[in-house]
Amino acid sequence: MNKKNKILITGGAGYIGSHTVVELQQKGHEVIIIDDLSNSNSSVIDAIEKITGIKPAFYNFNLCDKKELSTFFSKEKNIDAVIHFAAHKAVGESVNEPLKYYHNNLSSLINLLEEMKENNVKKIVFSSSCAVYGEPDRLPVNENAPLKKATSPYGNTKQINEDILSDTAKASNIRAISLRYFNPIGAHHSQLIGELPNGIPNNLAPFITQTAIGKREQLMVNGNDYNTPDGTCIRDYIHVVDIAKAHIIAIQRLLENKNKSSFEIFNLGTGRGNSVLEVIKSFEKVSGKKLNYKIVGRRVGDIEKIYADSTLASVELNWKADKTMDDMMLSAWEWEVKLAEK
Ligand code: UD1
């Protein structure tokens, strides 16, 4: 184990954040969470403690509150690095409520970077998305692909956030890594943390498991008239723990000054594209349940197909996703079953 570092995780009670907190604690790092619980629950903090035996320090506020954030940094000294997850993330909602997305996702990063500069915190890993590519010309898509116009305000906030980071890194001693996730699904093998959306899920995997368990009546498959083999959209689904592990490597890279430029970008995907119907098929296979679904119209803001070329992450970070679609759907299902027992 390397030196024990003090890492701030914004959005640490959220889906990817909580899995990353667990991995960091298990590597011996001290973790502090800021989360406003807008799309999570304080029970996640207890669940993290159950897994690792360590209760992370937890501050409940929104990063747009600059005063709270300044007070936080004046209390919590000697933070070595930040992983910034906290953001709104529903593509469809962002189309209907763009200002909510621009305000929250941009102000929170700007406030965070200002406080980092003020308090001499120089390393940040940013939670980006394949949404920055828009509808790519060539697949699999790599980090050098030109960024097309994002198909949603959500995707646009990720593009702008990357520009903010890149410009800030150029003009200061802040060093940043942006991780562009494809579609994280699945849950921790302990079945103590997983995806826990408030209200009706926007994303496919929790909608499938909630339908199968009886919380939702029917899954709506958004469109079967896309130019794909079965007509449904194609995505690169990746296990959330594989994603979490990449953050540990990225943060270590920054802490050891092994980054090759002031702002680096890595795709995190499996390189495999699966259609919505293939995901459903995998779910039915591993759960033994028949899913109630129907085909409806396309969803606004959706792109047709995207999957990753993650060669750069494999060469530079020595990272590779190793879970299969069936592993992912099984873990998502076991988590849903466990939730229902509570
Ligand atoms: C998008 C982003 C992703 C981001 C995520 C955060 C893109 C390409 N990807 O994922 O980077 O991390 O938002 O939320 O913009 N679907 C249904 N019925 C449903 C729900 C989803 O058919 O009830 C379909 C969608 O049309 C899509 C696929 O399932 O084809 C995956 O959707 P979802 O899980 O919401 O993720 P993305 O929108 O791809």
Give domain status of residue 279, yes or no: no
pLDDT at 44: 97
Peptide bond into 206 cis (omega under 30): no
pLDDT category at 336 given cuts 50, 70, 90 is: very high
CATH number at residue 52: 3.40.50.720
Catalytic, out of 154, 181, 237, 307: 154
pLDDT value of position 167: 98
Q: Is residue 216 part of a domain?
A: no
Q: How far is the CA of 320 from the centre of ligand 1 (A)?
A: 22
Tokens encoding 88: 């709104």
Instruction: Give the domain extent around 40.
Output: 6-185+239-269+308-321
271-305 confidence digits (pLDDT tens): 999 999 999 999 999 999 999 999 999 988 788 99
303 within ligand 1 shell (Cβ under 6 A): yes
- Asked if the structure places residue 169 within a domain, the reply is yes
Ligand 1 atom with the shortest distance to the CA of 90: 14
The answer to the question of residue 48 being in a domain is yes
In a domain, 137, yes or no: yes
- Cβ of residue 207 lying under 6 Å from some atom of ligand 1: yes
Alpha carbon separation from 312 to 57, 96, 267, 268, 308 (Å, rounded): 34, 35, 8, 9, 11
pLDDT tens column, 219-237: 999 999 999 999 999 999 9
pLDDT at 197: 87
19 CA → ligand 1 middle, Å? 20
Output the CA 259–ligand 1 centroid distance in Å: 31
In a domain, 205, yes or no: no
Mean pLDDT across 63-82:
98
For 95, residues 6+ apart whose C-beta sits below 8 A from its C-beta are 152, 153, 300, 301
CA angle at 10 for the pair 39 and 192, rounded to the nearest 5°: 60
Residue type (1 letter), 67: K
Taking CA atoms only, the protein residue closest to ligand 1 atom 2 is: 131
Q: What is the mean pLDDT of residues 158-171?
A: 98
The answer, yes or no, to whether any atom of ligand 1 lies below 6 A from the CB of 76, is no
Inside any domain, residue 280 = no
Q: Is the CB of 302 under 6 A from ligand 1?
A: yes
Give tens-digit pLDDT for 48-68: 999 999 999 999 999 999 999
pLDDT for residue 2: 55
Tell me: pLDDT of 211 over 50: yes
pLDDT of residue 1: 42
Active site (annotated) includes residue 154: yes
Which residues in 245-259 are b (16+ Cβ under 10 Å) and which e? bbbbbbbbbbbeeeb
Whole-number Å distance, alpha carbon 68 to ligand 1 midpoint, is: 33
- Provide the domain count of the chain: 1
Whether 284 is in a domain gets the answer no
The arithmetic mean of pLDDT across residues 100-116, rounded, is: 98
Nearest atom of ligand 1 to the alpha carbon of 129: 11
| CA 203 to ligand 1 center in whole angstroms | 5
Tell me the angle at which helices 66-75 and 98-118 cross, rounded to the nearest 10 degrees: 30
pLDDT mean over 96-105: 97
Q: Of 337, 325, 248, 321, which Cα lies nearest the Cα of 289? A: 337
Whether 204 is in the pocket of ligand 1, judged by its Cβ within 6 Å, is yes
